[in-house]
Amino acid sequence: MSARRRTAVIGAGPAGCAAAYELARAGRSVVVIEQARFVGGRTRTYRHDGVVIDSGAALATSFDTTTLGYARAVGLDRDLVRANYRVGLVDDRRKVILSPGTASGLLKFPACSWREKLRLLWFVCKLVLKRRRFDLSEPATLAELDSMSVAERARSELGETLYQVFVRPSIETFWYVSCEELSQSLMLALYARGPGAKLLRFRSGMDGLCQALLRDIPVRLGTAVTDVVVRGDDTLVVRLRGDEQLEVDELVIATPASVARNLVAALPASIVGASQRAFLDSQRYVANIHGLFWIDSDVRRVEHAVAPMGWANDPPVVTIAFDPMAVVPPRAGRYVSVYLSAGKSAELVGLGRADIAEQCWALARTLEPVLPRKAHLIELFDRDEAIPVLGVGRFKLATAFQEAQKPPVVLAGDYLAAASVDGALRSGKLAATRLIAPQR
């Protein structure tokens, strides 16, 4: 009887967890190596005294088929609950409420004229009729239209007002990147799939899915990989910090592109080609700071997320969320999450914790003045590489990268899809498939 193939997965975020799960099911001897001391990557969930708040990615949708499939497979489908997500869009004059994904919410939206609403509805309806062509987690379905930015397409087809008051808040609030930089494929797929979709979240936290996928798989936390080399007998050697090394037959690298680029540096071009290395070199990420605060006042008038609308430049704050999933202790008050924009986050990186928290809260109050002057900082999540920039041409390059993948080393991550949890999971599943049943 032949020995089981030894497989290492570097990275315990959604992509790595999906790859490890699929490979273990296929009979591989799998070990997961993670530099952090927790599973989940950028889906890490904050838990304390009954409080459950996602530090990064928090929402799934009813069209995230890979996420829903894994939730069912590991028994977490009943943990998914409907997220009643409404957005209060704010400019310097007013606040208007938008319920995403519903025609009635759009028709009641007071920030544009009836003619503009009908123009937007017609634009969205045409996309909905073609929704089967679009899959946010599969770059090949988005590559054909990956030819201009969101800003170019929206301004030319919808006009400046709708671009500023509707398109920018609906995109930049979630991806933290200016629509001037993002591919129109992202917007088209989102608007094709969004109408009628349900927003969902895991009651026990987003990282619970990653933990469940690795339930029966060995995981080495707090373990950094320095590089990967190949021996003359084709054995892959994964070198760990501290002069330890693992010998494996195959490898999945499920890390941010910048880390993956360094890990494959010593591998021959026959394993990771020049075009793939160029793609890794070109990938950019934006930073993000998420401040989690406690306020003693209840602020019951605000029961929705708050986001900027129609700002001339990139706003310093992209969202203020009053976390409905938090189990609040028995006293008046609530938890408030403040997400800073990429530009402001990069500006504040390097400051001390107290200074970042002070500026974060002051900026939040400029967007939502009903907030009290003082807040208690609970936790600060700062990420240098929070979200990959899905620029024009990115989906074409990601498709070519995926098609070139082959054993014994494959890569996975949200930078190969639409920077979502579902996209990361799908990329991990595809990477595992390339090892299990390589294309000829």
Residues 191 and 207 in one domain: no
Residues 175 and 107 in one domain: yes
Within a domain: 217: yes
Within a domain: 261: yes
What is the residue range of 260's domain? 6-43+203-283+390-436
Distance CA 148, CA 158 (A): 15
CATH at residue 177 = 1.10.405
Residue 247, pLDDT score: 95
Residue 95, pLDDT score: 72
Query: Tens digits of per-residue pLDDT, 83-138?
Result: 877 777 777 666 777 766 666 666 667 778 889 989 999 999 999 999 989 998 99
Residues 267 and 187 in one domain: no
- The answer to whether the beta carbons of residues 194 and 11 sit under 8 Å apart is no
- The answer to whether the beta carbons of residues 23 and 6 sit under 8 Å apart is no
Residues 177 and 228 in one domain: no
Residues 213 and 188 in one domain: no
Residues 275 and 407 in one domain: yes
Residues 131 and 163 in one domain: yes
Within a domain: 325: no
Amino acid at 206: M
Residues 133 and 270 in one domain: no
Last residue of a domain, which of 154, 171, 195? 195
Q: Residue 73: CB partners within 8 Å, gap ≥ 6?
A: none
Residue 250 falls in which region: left (phi positive, over 0), alpha (psi -120 to 50) or beta? beta
Residues 108 and 183 in one domain: yes
Residue 183 to residues 6, 134, 151, 397, Cα–Cα distance (Å)? 39, 14, 9, 12
Strand 87-90 vs strand 80-82: parallel, antiparallel, or unpaired?
Answer: unpaired
Tell me how many domains the chain contains. 2
The pair of three-digit structure tokens given for residue 348, joined into one six-digit string: 């504040």
Amino acid at 183: S
- The answer to whether the beta carbons of residues 40 and 213 sit under 8 Å apart is no
Residues with pLDDT less than 50, the chain? 1, 328, 330, 440
Residue (of 1, 198, 168, 177) closest to 83 by Cα position: 198
Residues 186 and 258 in one domain: no
Last residue of a domain, which of 144, 175, 195? 195
Within a domain: 407: yes
Residue 100, pLDDT score: 62
CATH at residue 239 = 3.50.50.60
Question: 253: burial class by Cβ within 10 Å (0-12, 13-18, 19+)?
Answer: buried
Residues 275 and 397 in one domain: yes
